[in-house]
Amino acid sequence: MKTNPLHMAHRCQSCLSRRRCLQLISSATLGLTFSGGSLAALAKPRKAAPDFVDPAALRPKPKVRVDAAILEMPRPYWLGWPGTTYDLDARQKEYGAKRVVEPTWEDSLNSARAYTTAKRLLADEQSNALSMDCLGMVGDRLVPTPPCGAWTILQDEGITAGCEADLHGATSLMLTSYLLDRPGFMNDPVAETAKNLLIVAHCTSGTRLNGFDKPKAPYVLRDHSESSLGLSVQVLWPIGQPVTLIRFSNPNELILDTGTVVSNVETPPAGGCRTNLEVRMDNIEDCRDVLGFHQVVTLGHHRRVVEGFCQLVGIKVVHSPPHTALPKA
């Protein structure tokens, strides 16, 4: 069998991984896919490989381009594309909730319209991700339902749907989706100082936490917590399982931490968003020191994979400080 010269059997001391170099090279494909680039460069004939290959020579340079900033669209875009239909009964069978608390049948229909409209908007703009200034529109009662329920379905389909027009949040969601093959959960973090836990909460989360081809986690249909409008989702995360927190602080720097799910928080009696869980952070003495906002939480311990990808594409990785810095005397 003829062997590709890049598929070397030696152990490269400069690589992050202790595995063969082939494992590191395979991450380059992910980087090019993430940017929508071509793999033609890797497919060109190459000279025989020397005994040492510098990973920097194989490093792609992925970029995320914002193709359009849509400030306002006509009302039919949100209330449902004219002439479209939606089989709500079939969808309810596919996405069977554990229970329904506040939402009505009309709320479910409006959420279905939001999903259909978002898919149509993505097709019209030839885009593969979107983020919406949802909080402002919901606060001003400009829409009958927030996009939370629709965003859950999109995330489960592998389509990046971000909240609150947060570009770095959306690209963080895209990274978890494309690199880890599972949806992320963009959250509002709160330090629970009595227990020294980090509360991560938002009103939308994918349900296929273990992967897009894996069964859904149990979930409850709720309304949007701040506005009591429409339909959102309370996803029940598996207790005792590891999680990874990812957040682009800028295009060239990424915050990366890990922890463990301690509990799912019911609202009420607690306040906060509907998908609401407590996380015990790894190697961080004080939960108040966790860096970032709108971090993307994803199920599983993926620190090594994410660090390897960032090393390959030239993204700096930072971690929350393990100890609180004491004030200078």
For residue 269, the one-letter residue type is P
Same domain, 42 and 84: no
Q: Is residue 178 part of a domain?
A: yes
The whole-angstrom separation of Cα 166 and Cα 158 is: 18
Examine the pLDDT at 187 and tell me if it is beyond 50.
Answer: yes
Give the end of a domain, one of 9, 29, 63: 63
Same domain, 177 and 238: yes
Determine the pLDDT at residue 229.
Answer: 80
Q: What is the pLDDT of residues 264-299, one digit of tens each?
A: 988 888 878 888 899 999 999 999 999 999 999 999
Q: What is the pLDDT of residues 113-126, one digit of tens each?
A: 888 888 888 888 77
The whole-angstrom separation of Cα 200 and Cα 210 is: 18
Q: Is residue 69 part of a domain?
A: no
Same domain, 91 and 42: no
Q: Domain span at residue 267?
A: 76-318
Same domain, 93 and 59: no
195: left (phi over 0), alpha (psi -120 to 50) or beta: alpha
Determine the pLDDT at residue 33.
Answer: 32
Q: What is the mean pLDDT of the chain?
A: 75
The whole-angstrom separation of Cα 309 and Cα 299 is: 18
Mean pLDDT of 9-36: 35
Mean pLDDT of 27-47: 37
179, 185, 188, 191: CA torsion to nearest 10: -80
Q: Is residue 327 part of a domain?
A: no
Into how many domains does the chain fold? Answer: 2
Examine the pLDDT at 12 and tell me if it is beyond 60.
Answer: no
Q: What is the pLDDT of residues 211-231, one digit of tens each?
A: 999 999 999 888 777 777 888
Q: Is residue 262 part of a domain?
A: yes
The whole-angstrom separation of Cα 74 and Cα 28 is: 41
Q: Contact, 167 vs 177, CB < 8 A? A: no
Same domain, 55 and 185: no
Q: What is the pLDDT of residues 84-130, one digit of tens each?
A: 444 555 555 555 677 777 888 888 888 888 888 888 888 887 788 88
> What 3-state class would DSSP assign to 82?
coil
